[in-house]
Amino acid sequence: MSVEAELEESVSYTPIQRMRHSAAHVMAEAVLEIFPDAKLAIGPAIEDGFYYDFDLPRALTPGDLPEIERRMTRIIAGKYPFLQERWLREKALQYFRDRGQIYKVELIENLPDEEVGIYRQDTFLDLCRGPHVENTGHIGPFKLMRVAGAYWRGDEHRPMLQRIYGTAWFTQEELDHYLWQLDEARKRDHRTLGKSLDLYSTSEAVGPGLILGCVARNLRGMLEACNLTFLFSLDSHCKQAGDECHLLPAVSFFYAMDLTFPEHIHGFISL
Ligand SMILES: [Zn+2]
């Protein structure tokens, strides 16, 4: 979906999507407090939550999320109203150009309208059609989930931005249940992934204590999709075995997969 189509979609947001998109505005305000030079792209509601894409002076880590959450909590507690304004296109272009907000400038340049929608809450102002909740106090329990890279406009030739994903719900129970469900799904995936993909086996040729993992080319991508770090290292055996067949040191593989160590691997570890 194009960025413009994504912005267009906001007008038909359901109440929970409206609340989640409002949380994205609050997250953008919090990020801008920490990084005053941050450049903002877009922040729509998505299934189960919201995101906002940022161009930042440094890479975010999971350790940055609690500080952003803390600032969001303050803004939510402030119950700041979302105030709508209509600006002439030229005024909006000038405003965002003056602040180096190149992505907003590009968005406005692609809008056909003579006037554009602006929403303010607290100290923050954004280009947006709305709608939002009445004030920031109407944003329910939320959690920031992760950071991922995302190309501007999904185009690999454009800048790589940092996307912060969050989730927000009307009640604490709903949020807790959602996080519990994710956790359960993750555990199930870990238990079944190794077996179903036939990712590991032993081989007499390389020694009975070693695990030979036949690694599909897309394994790294699948593990990343499950938020796992793939901690394998190559050694000379792999090269002999061919490109797609890597010798996996058992310890790192099973730690990465969060799997129970099979008996014969215990033997390997104790060596
Ligand atoms: Zn908005």
Give distance in angstroms: CA of 222 to centre of ligand 1: 32
Give distance in angstroms: CA of 76 to centre of ligand 1: 15
Tokens standing for residue 150? 């995302």
pLDDT at 96 over 90: yes
Q: What phi, psi does 28 have (nearest 5°)?
A: -65, -40
Give distance in angstroms: CA of 7 to centre of ligand 1: 9
- Decide if 132 is inside a domain: yes
Q: What phi, psi does 154 have (nearest 5°)?
A: 65, 20
Question: Do 71 and 202 share a domain, yes or no?
Answer: no
Question: Do 151 and 245 share a domain, yes or no?
Answer: no
Q: Is residue 49 within 8 Å of residue 144, measured between CB atoms?
A: no
Question: Do 165 and 219 share a domain, yes or no?
Answer: no
* CATH number (domain holding residue 139): 3.30.980.10
Question: Do 197 and 157 share a domain, yes or no?
Answer: no
Tokens standing for residue 78? 């402030």
What does pTM read for this prediction? 0.71
Give distance in angstroms: CA of 231 to centre of ligand 1: 40
pLDDT in tens, 117-141: 999 999 999 999 999 999 999 999 9
Question: Do 223 and 129 share a domain, yes or no?
Answer: no
Give distance in angstroms: CA of 19 to centre of ligand 1: 10
Closest Cα partner for 162 from 263, 51, 237?
51
Give pLDDT, residue 6.
65
Give distance in angstroms: CA of 131 to centre of ligand 1: 6
Q: Which of 136, 171, 206 lies at the terminal end of a domain, its last residue?
A: 171
Question: Do 118 and 201 share a domain, yes or no?
Answer: no
Domain range for 251: 193-269
- Decide if 186 is inside a domain: no
Mean pLDDT of 46-74: 97
Domain count of the fold of the chain: 2
Q: At what angle do helices 102-109 and 89-98 cross, to 10 degrees?
A: 160
Question: Do 201 and 155 share a domain, yes or no?
Answer: no
pLDDT at 208 over 50: no
pLDDT in tens, 217-265: 345 555 455 444 333 333 333 344 443 333 344 444 544 554 443 433 3
Give pLDDT, residue 233.
35
Question: Do 157 and 33 share a domain, yes or no?
Answer: yes
Give pLDDT, residue 114.
94
- Decide if 200 is inside a domain: yes
Give distance in angstroms: CA of 113 to centre of ligand 1: 17
pLDDT at 77 over 90: yes
Q: At what angle do helices 250-257 and 172-196 cross, to 10 degrees?
A: 150
Give pLDDT, residue 92.
97
- Cα(212)–Cα(248) distance, rounded to whole angstroms? 6
Give distance in angstroms: CA of 64 to centre of ligand 1: 23
Give distance in angstroms: CA of 66 to centre of ligand 1: 23
Q: Is residue 29 within 8 Å of residue 139, measured between CB atoms?
A: no
- Decide if 72 is inside a domain: yes
Give distance in angstroms: CA of 100 to centre of ligand 1: 20
Give distance in angstroms: CA of 87 to centre of ligand 1: 15
Give distance in angstroms: CA of 127 to centre of ligand 1: 7
pLDDT at 97 over 90: yes
Question: Do 50 and 162 share a domain, yes or no?
Answer: yes
- Decide if 141 is inside a domain: yes
Tokens standing for residue 182? 């994710």
Give distance in angstroms: CA of 50 to centre of ligand 1: 11
- Provide the Cα torsion 98, 52, 34, 99; round to 10°: 0
Tokens standing for residue 205? 């040729």
Give distance in angstroms: CA of 24 to centre of ligand 1: 8
Give pLDDT, residue 166.
98
R_g (Cα) of the chain, nearest Å = 23
Residue of higher predicted confidence among 3 and 48: 48
- Decide if 185 is inside a domain: no
Give pLDDT, residue 194.
58
Question: Do 105 and 213 share a domain, yes or no?
Answer: no
- Decide if 253 is inside a domain: yes
Question: Do 101 and 66 share a domain, yes or no?
Answer: yes
